[in-house]
Amino acid sequence: MSMTEFFTTVFAGAAATFTGFMCWLIYKQTQTTKELERAWISVEVRHDTEASKHLTNFIGGSAVSLECLIRNRGRTPARLTKCKVVQESLAEGITLPENPDYGTNMKNMDQMLLSPDDTIQEAFHAEADKLSFFERNEGNFYVYGVVYYLDAFGTERYTRFCYISWFPLTSDLLSISELFFRRGSLRAYNKGT
């Protein structure tokens, strides 16, 4: 092997190694950018006191209006595909199962586009029988669920959430001024991808 062939081989090997390294570096940079720029969905549960007043007048106080605020906290839009909200009243000392069961009946969100920093409201109501433990000052009212969405890069993701309500100042369901919620502590119910 001549000196020219040797240097040509070494140069070609170095160029191939450098090209491979640059491809790997671009791939890692693209993955990092996708992670940093992606949509991040968060959900907050709250009592819609104004709607509850109208609901009370309409059906005689047998339900309380609640809402999930679904917010995109990321930097790119999200396409909401489906969601499910579950309510459970459990006696004092009984907790939710270790892993959530959302069932198979999910609400289709029709790929609704949610821009960065935008919020939509998903309204629902709790029947008085679900809240009857407030009258006895025992038990817990849980609202938990999941939102599935596609990020701007086509990756399917989800956000799980769980909130628990504590006792209002009054135990009279017809005069509840506001239900307060705090994040539930079960890890499997509060996570996302």
Give the Cβ contact number of residue 9 at 10 Å: 11
Tell me the backbone φ, ψ of residue 123, rounded to 5 degrees.
-85, 145
User: For every one of its 193 residues, what pLDDT tens digit does the chain have, with 9 covering 90 and above?
Assistant: 788 887 788 788 888 888 888 888 777 777 777 677 889 999 999 887 777 666 555 445 567 788 999 999 999 999 999 999 999 888 778 889 999 999 889 999 999 999 999 999 998 888 777 776 666 667 788 999 999 999 999 999 999 999 998 655 455 555 556 678 888 878 899 999 8
This prediction's pTM: 0.78
**In whole angstroms, how far apart are CA 69 and each of 50, 124, 143?**
15, 11, 13
How far is CA 120 from its chain centroid? 12
Tokens of 44: 């907050």
User: How many C-beta atoms surround the C-beta of residue 183 within 10 A?
Assistant: 13
DSSP 13: H
